[in-house]
Amino acid sequence: MNKSKYYILAGAALIAILAINRAIEISRENAREIFNTARYNNAHGEPVEVITAQNKTGTLKFPVAVRYGRILVSSARVNDFKVGQTLTSGGVIVNIARRIDLDTGLLVITAKAPSGNTFVRAEYNGAFVPLSAIHGDKIMIAHDGRATERKITVIAQDMEHAVIRGVQDGEEIILTAIEPNTKIRKVR
């Protein structure tokens, strides 16, 4: 055999050895739990953020614009407001007229408040949860190390939170998006 055939044979053998070595390294790395997060989460549970449900009285804030002592709202929102509610700008609602402003088609609420954008504070009783925890009319509850779906009733919501009924004090509400019956690991 001439030298060129030895070089080709030696090169092929070197490539085969490198490929086998790389396959062994990949196999070792895949066996490690830290490297393989899917396997680790399957064994120990998906990491989820939870909050503890507590039924209480709290405040939601609804954005409004006050112009010359008038707040204009849609008919869908008018029931969120009551006489005596305070505004974050220091004002108060004094009248909820069920008459329509002909220029805008919205209902008129009268307030003693400075003109500008502000929020109306409204008190509700129930469990306060971030909107991201609600999926339609359901939330996820941590129960026996698994995510369990729970049907709830949304009483009211503002831009960030909702007041719900259907959970007991002390139950852990899952904030992370997860499928029902998934094994979980709680992260606070």
For the record, the structure tokens of 10 come out as 């030696």
φ and ψ at residue 131, rounded to 5 degrees? -60, -30
| pLDDT tens-digit map of 163-172 | 999 999 999 9
Q: How far is CA 41 from CA 29, 58, 117, 140, in A?
A: 16, 36, 46, 18
Q: Are 40 and 33 in contact (CB under 8 A)?
A: yes
Residues of the chain with pLDDT under 70: 1, 32-35, 188
Q: Tell if the pTM clears 0.75, that is, is over it.
A: no
- Give phi and psi for 9, each to the nearest 5: -65, -40
pLDDT of residue 119: 93
Question: Model confidence over 19-33: pLDDT tens digits?
Answer: 999 999 988 877 765
Q: Report the candidate in 136, 67, 77, 76 with the shortest Cα–Cα distance to residue 103.
A: 67
Helix or strand or coil: residue 55? strand
The pLDDT of residue 26 is 87
DSSP for 124-137, written as a single string: EEEEEEEGGG-BTT
The predicted structure's pLDDT at residue 98: 77
